[in-house]
């Protein structure tokens, strides 16, 4: 395992799914993890789980769609750790099923506020401290929908393309500061997020088969498999990796 020993880390959306797997994996690798989530009860449960496994974690209740919450989270972490945050994982996000014709403006705005502006708010609040220390890693969770079109995922695809673009722009702007900015583009992953999407269909089992079919491995990813990529990108071994959109998709795009 790549070491994150003594690194101060923030993981948003850390109470479930990929975020929870990243938080647990970071803690196992030696990091102090701020479990950032808008669900306080679920966040507390994740902190307890990490501590029971011998890791270090702190709860940070925050709604990343709100700039004030992001600023408050950043200030707290920096104050408590001598103006240091080594790794920020912008994982929190939401989805929506529909084409441009069935996606109402309010839904597009909701996804944009959380999936894009949330990353913008928190990155903007943390980045100056990383630049000052000339060290840091920001990891944004995008999707294969950030590098290709996806049917009936208009708003989600728009926002995830924006995440990939934001990652690349930040990497170019700050490449000489010692801060690395990358994103991960997972294929379809077995999470509560995906389970909720499945229930939107008349026949969930049939649609699950359709979801699995495009992957060369003929299965969905497990959250820990995505978390493993995050551990690598957060580690010092990834020192020459920035501006990357790392695809972890079980061969989803291999046949495209």
SS3 content of the chain, % helix, strand, coil (to 5): 50, 15, 35
Give me the residue label for tokens 């940070």: 60
57 — phi, psi (to 5°)? -150, 150
201 is catalytic: no
Burial class (CB in 10 A: 0-12, 13-18, 19+), 251: middle
From the list 156, 201, 232, 252, the catalytic residue is: 156
Cβ-count burial 58-93 (b if 16+ within 10 Å, e if not): bbbbbebbeeebbbebbeebbeeeeebbbbbbbbbb
**Both tokens of residue 247?**
């695809």
CB 187 within 8 A of CB 11: no
Label residues 99-126 b or e (16+ Cβ within 10 Å = b). Answer: eeeebeeebbebbbbbbbbbbbbbbebb
The answer to whether the CB of 163 falls within 8 A of the CB of 183 is yes
Residues known to be catalytic: 156
């Amino acid at each position: 395992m790549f070491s994150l020993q003594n690194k101060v880390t923030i993981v948003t959306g850390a109470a479930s799914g990929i975020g929870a797997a990243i938080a647990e994996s970071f803690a196992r690798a030696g990091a102090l993890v701020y479990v950032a989530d808008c669900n306080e009860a679920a966040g507390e449960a994740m902190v307890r789980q990490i501590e029971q496994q011998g890791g270090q974690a702190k709860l940070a209740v925050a709604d990343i769609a709100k700039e004030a919450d992001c600023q408050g989270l950043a200030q707290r972490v920096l104050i408590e750790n001598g103006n240091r945050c080594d790794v920020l994982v912008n994982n929190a996000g939401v989805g929506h099923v529909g084409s441009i014709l069935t996606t109402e403006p309010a839904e597009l705005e909701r996804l944009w506020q959380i999936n894009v502006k949330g990353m913008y708010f928190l990155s903007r609040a943390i980045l100056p401290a990383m630049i000052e220390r000339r060290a840091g890693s920001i990891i944004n969770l995008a999707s294969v929908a950030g590098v290709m079109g996806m049917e009936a995922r208009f708003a989600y695809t728009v926002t995830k393309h924006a995440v990939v673009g934001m990652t690349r722009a930040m990497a170019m702007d700050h490449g000489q500061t010692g801060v690395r900015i990358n994103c991960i583009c997972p294929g379809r992953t077995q999470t509560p997020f995906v389970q909720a999407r499945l229930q939107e269909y008349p026949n969930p089992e049939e649609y699950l088969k359709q979801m699995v079919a495009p992957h060369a491995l003929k299965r969905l990813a497990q959250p820990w498999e995505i978390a493993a990529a995050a551990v690598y990108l957060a580690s010092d071994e990834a020192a020459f990796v920035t501006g990357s959109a790392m695809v972890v998709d079980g061969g989803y795009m291999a046949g495209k």
